[in-house]
Chains A and B, each alone.
Chain A
């Protein structure tokens, strides 16, 4: 049937690709793994700054996590008597146990970072609109999945860090109105973090979530190709298409090798943390959630849990409806939409860097709303009021950018997005480094 392929090629392409290109294209089409790629890719989509390799790195880390995770399973026991000794054995007597656990631990943490950066990149290049909107939502789901993976994996070493982070994390769930307590009891298999919780989290972490991940990733990849590949700006002239072998594959191989080498070196230098055996009577001081939840934990220091949860939920909801909220495809593929959009993004980031620490300090040291408005319920003075103030502030930033910069809707959204993301990073940094014993503000240097 090669004559038929050749005829189709002649119809599809202005000139028939040279013979070596054709064999390379066939190699891609006939290989299960390579077939995730198209046979040829537009040259502008191959530039590193189009993707920063973030989706690819995330996929590589997922594969690495499955490989190392399966190995760890052979030496682990999901029982509160044996889990901690098993992890201790990995750290001390099992050959390469510490290294494998380190790679698994740091790959999971790095994945959290790369998927968020991947989302930021897709947002910045406008790759969530039009037919790509479905994949944006799928990707957001995968982000939540990675978060769930990290959360469930966090409990498994059964040390102090694990026990109290999960206690605090599920304590947060209880504030969800009506169903919160039931969901928390169901997840933990009882009223407190104990054997049932460890067993439940283990089953989720090694069985249910990986299946969802594999199906989700496959769908995500398939969708990327269905939707026309990486977003590129409209081109004035005919785009040259380059064959996937060698142009894309060598670049991917390079990024993969650098990531792997960096990760292994890091895991050798910094072993995964393991604290004392979990003790339900004595939380460490300060007791902190996992670092990727410290932004939310910091919010909890300043407002009622219901308000902090609502704020987090509105952020997630805003991201989910973004494809409907911003449908202007005229600037597709242009980073930050335009010069104005770029400026809006810078202003948003600068505002967040100045305002967030300022608000943290003011609320911590001077402002005590519940005492100031004493007769009013704390649900309003410490919940509704800060929530409305925050949402009002965000609306103010949007309106300010529209007015002062004469920014279009989608350019002002860049500023809003950049404010929210940078504020989250600042809050996370405050939670990681600036909270000491009794969660009081401290200066770490």
Chain B
């Protein structure tokens, strides 16, 4: 490449003129660069992840609110989340993806906690970290209530550092 980069000619006044040869070489180089960028862009777009409708990522209907007693946790395997109902009746859709390295947590009813088998993180019913290495509370999915039934939108997990009361949804 060093050969192609135009050097100011010793006899030409510095910074004023570029010879026709140098100009064409520079132009050809620039065109080549644009072509390379285009090809790279094409390859990247070709390879980029695509989301398919109807798979995980859509809205999951969880059913009527009264079928979940307070203090219970129900797993929705297709939605990759747990529906947790706090003791005061508030709902939370807790993602099953551990915030540490992405393993699936499971609910242990006897200990009242979510446990991740990969690196030993524990979370309580509302997803707060009880035992590291997990750096933050389990992600949640937004819940909407329609005619007393709960709908969970799994398109985008919501990150949070820890539990706050306003995250709970009441019917």
- Residue among B101, B103, B115 with most chain A CB within 10 A: B101
Interface hits, B72-102 → A, CB 8 Å? 75, 77, 80, 96-97, 100-102
Measured in the bound complex, the distance between the Cα atoms of B120 and A439 in whole Å is: 6
B49 / chain A contacts, CB cutoff of 8 Å = 185-186, 188-190, 196
* Cross-interface CB contact of A282 among B57, B97, B106, B135, cutoff 8 Å: B106
B132 / chain A contacts, CB cutoff of 8 Å = 370, 378, 382
A437 / chain B contacts, CB cutoff of 8 Å = 117
A171 within 8 A of B: yes
Interface hits, B121-161 → A, CB 8 Å? 132-133, 135
Measured in the bound complex, the distance between the Cα atoms of B55 and A344 in whole Å is: 58
Known A-B contacts A164-B118, A189-B49, A281-B77; the reply to A287 vs B102 at CB < 8 A is: no
* Cross-interface CB contact of A286 among B80, B106, B118, cutoff 8 Å: B118
A172 within 8 A of B: yes
B97 / chain A contacts, CB cutoff of 8 Å = 192
- Residue among A191, A297, A378 with most chain B CB within 10 A: A191
B50 within 8 A of A: yes
Measured in the bound complex, the distance between the Cα atoms of B51 and A185 in whole Å is: 11
Instruction: Write the chain A residue with the least CB distance to B44.
Output: A186
- Residue among B49, B103, B135 with most chain A CB within 10 A: B49
Instruction: Write the chain B residue with the least CB distance to A203.
Output: B47
Q: Is the CB of A305 within 8 A of B51?
A: no
A301 within 8 A of B: yes
Q: Mark A292-322, 1 if CB is under 8 A from B, else 0.
A: 0000010011001100000000000000000
B115 / chain A contacts, CB cutoff of 8 Å = 438
Q: Is the CB of B103 within 8 A of A190?
A: no
Known A-B contacts A185-B49, A186-B47, A382-B132; the reply to A439 vs B103 at CB < 8 A is: no
B65 within 8 A of A: no
Measured in the bound complex, the distance between the Cα atoms of B118 and A439 in whole Å is: 7
Measured in the bound complex, the distance between the Cα atoms of B131 and A301 in whole Å is: 12
B120 / chain A contacts, CB cutoff of 8 Å = 301, 438-440
A196 / chain B contacts, CB cutoff of 8 Å = 49-50
Measured in the bound complex, the distance between the Cα atoms of B82 and A281 in whole Å is: 11
Known A-B contacts A167-B102, A280-B104, A301-B133; the reply to A189 vs B118 at CB < 8 A is: no
Q: Is the CB of A168 within 8 A of B101?
A: yes
* Cross-interface CB contact of A168 among B47, B80, B102, cutoff 8 Å: B102
Measured in the bound complex, the distance between the Cα atoms of B115 and A440 in whole Å is: 13
B75 / chain A contacts, CB cutoff of 8 Å = 281
Measured in the bound complex, the distance between the Cα atoms of B104 and A301 in whole Å is: 17
A300 / chain B contacts, CB cutoff of 8 Å = 101, 119, 133
Interface hits, B51-65 → A, CB 8 Å? 51, 56-57
Instruction: Write the chain A residue with the least CB distance to B51.
Output: A190
Q: Is the CB of B117 within 8 A of A438?
A: yes
Q: Is the CB of B119 within 8 A of A301?
A: yes
Q: Mark A373-415, 1 if CB is under 8 A from B, else 0.
A: 0000011001000000000000000000000000000000000
Q: Mark A273-288, 1 if CB is under 8 A from B, else 0.
A: 0000000111111111
Instruction: Write the chain A residue with the least CB distance to B98.
Output: A171
A170 within 8 A of B: yes
Instruction: Write the chain B residue with the least CB distance to A286.
Output: B117
Interface hits, B20-66 → A, CB 8 Å? 47-51, 56-57
Shortest CB–CB separation between residue A153 and chain B, in angstroms?
A: 20
Instruction: Write the chain A residue with the least CB distance to B115.
Output: A438
Known A-B contacts A189-B50, A190-B51, A370-B132; the reply to A305 vs B101 at CB < 8 A is: yes
A378 / chain B contacts, CB cutoff of 8 Å = 132, 135
29 CB < 8 A contacts A-B: A164-B118, A167-B102, A168-B118, A171-B100, A171-B101, A174-B102, A186-B48, A190-B51, A191-B57, A192-B80, A280-B80, A280-B104, A281-B75, A281-B77, A281-B96, A283-B103, A283-B117, A286-B117, A287-B103, A287-B118, A300-B101, A301-B120, A301-B133, A305-B101, A437-B117, A438-B117, A439-B118, A439-B120, A440-B120
Which A residues are closer than 8 A to B by beta carbons? 164, 167-168, 170-172, 174, 185-186, 188-192, 196, 280-288, 297, 300-301, 304-305, 370, 378-379, 382, 437-440
Which B residues are closer than 8 A to A by beta carbons? 47-51, 56-57, 75, 77, 80, 96-97, 100-104, 106, 115-120, 132-133, 135
Query: 4 closest pairs, A vs B, by CB?
Result: A171-B101, A171-B102, A285-B117, A287-B118
